[in-house]
Structure 1
């Protein structure tokens, strides 16, 4: 099974990738389209040259690899995708040939985390619009509504939410998904030294988050603009309020 996990930045996405890698029966791929995205946009992200050199810049080749058959020893293939990487000229026809899951997080928490790394962030930088567009496309073309999980729910009760997710994926939940060794991982993207400090110190999911952060200025306005997209997907989350 090829699993595409669609997320935005600062969204527990790396920890969830580690959880699937810890199963032992799952290969993982960290942000497959990142090199192609940087090559096409010209954005000056940290380690831009290293990312482009290490990755595949032809999006058609990336898409083909995303749907490639899995091996007998690793029957699961987990792909950690960033929604903002799917700009207009990225191929999308492959998406219906994989199992799609959407990982969401409250925009205020995303922007508070972003503020520690960037002086400013636009709505297009945090993936909410692109995530909603992909969700809508799959909702229209697939027989079933795509799976949605909220990172805050995972942090409240990792085992319960991962059990629900595995059930929806028709795979066996493994206790090993709840922990991993500290430090860098061989499957980390080359950008890990910039972004993964906190997750490299972790050996499992962090505990429940506190109250929503208070934002000001452009960060507050961007979070407010993202809210309708978040709320639309939140209504379909596995642990949505009844």
Structure 2
């Protein structure tokens, strides 16, 4: 029986690198942001490659849920990369009871800077950090199990240690193949990959985070201030580095 893992992240985290990491396991297949077309069809948010995304996936929420919970898979593990802002208020999350859920977080100022560089604008809703906390509470209550939280910078600083701890929390063995992967885009990437995945396409593994002096505009800082309480709540729950 396939173990289905749902990783809940906001954008401009190391979510795609994590997808690469799991895909490099021989026992794992990956699913890239399966609710993206649903989200765009409901919001008409002017995202890059809007039309391409809409036609590349099912826009029907129930159909996507069925694919994520019922589809037969040849491999032992299915890793689902999810964006928290794709899960609109009021959607039924009961299907997540069937999965092993985990949450990937990043400091808001870093997310806001990176997102603005990629898209030109950034709102609290765009980066999904407040929604991430809401989903953490909802999924934790539904699953009645501890839901692991892990921070991207901790993985970058100590990939083997932190991935080992994450795998243990998910009840799967660590695989050293998770530490490296081939460069380039791949068939499992969403159609949006040419716009968003430049860095990870050139990567071969987890690179140490670069320290930079982040300068934010007043508007960007307002977004950071709005979402920081949600991030801080989740940060207190994260798997700790040694």
Checking the alignment, whether the CA contact within 8 Å between 2:148 and 2:239 is kept in structure 1 is yes
Q: In 1, Cα distance between the equivalents of 2:241 and 2:159?
A: 15
Checking the alignment, whether the CA contact within 8 Å between 2:93 and 2:139 is kept in structure 1 is no
Q: What 5-or-longer segments of structure 2 have no aligned partner?
A: none
Q: In 1, Cα distance between the equivalents of 2:80 and 2:186?
A: 15
Checking the alignment, whether the CA contact within 8 Å between 2:85 and 2:125 is kept in structure 1 is yes
Provide the TM-score with structure 2 as the length reference.
0.95
Provide the TM-score with structure 1 as the length reference.
0.95
For residue 100 of structure 1, give the secondary structure of its aligned residue in structure 2: strand
Aligned counterpart for 2:21 among listed residues 19, 22, 32: 19
What is the CA RMSD across the aligned residues, in angstroms? 1.5
The 5-angstrom pairing of residues 84-233 of structure 1 reads: 84-210=85-211, 213-233=214-234
What residue in structure 1 maps to residue 11 of structure 2?
9
Q: In 2, Cα distance between the equivalents of 1:207 and 1:70?
A: 37
For residue 166 of structure 1, give the secondary structure of its aligned residue in structure 2: helix
Checking the alignment, whether the CA contact within 8 Å between 1:138 and 1:145 is kept in structure 2 is no
Alignment deviations for residues 188-225 of structure 1 (CA, whole Å, 9 cap, x no partner): 00000100011101010111331562322111110121
Alignment deviations for residues 4-41 of structure 1 (CA, whole Å, 9 cap, x no partner): 10000001000000000000111100001001111111
Tell me: CA distance 1:141–1:240, structure 2 relative to 1, closer, same or farther (3 Å). Answer: farther
Alignment deviations for residues 152-187 of structure 1 (CA, whole Å, 9 cap, x no partner): 100110110000011111111111100111111110
Q: In 2, Cα distance between the equivalents of 1:173 and 1:240?
A: 16
Aligned counterpart for 2:48 among listed residues 35, 46, 49: 46
Checking the alignment, whether the CA contact within 8 Å between 1:2 and 1:70 is kept in structure 2 is no
Q: Deviation at 1:240?
A: 6.5
Checking the alignment, whether the CA contact within 8 Å between 2:27 and 2:77 is kept in structure 1 is yes
Checking the alignment, whether the CA contact within 8 Å between 2:33 and 2:83 is kept in structure 1 is yes
What residue in structure 2 maps to residue 68 of structure 1?
70
For residue 102 of structure 2, give the secondary structure of its aligned residue in structure 1: strand
Q: In 2, Cα distance between the equivalents of 1:119 and 1:182?
A: 27
Q: In 2, Cα distance between the equivalents of 1:212 and 1:31?
A: 31
Q: What 5-or-longer segments of structure 1 have no aligned partner?
A: none
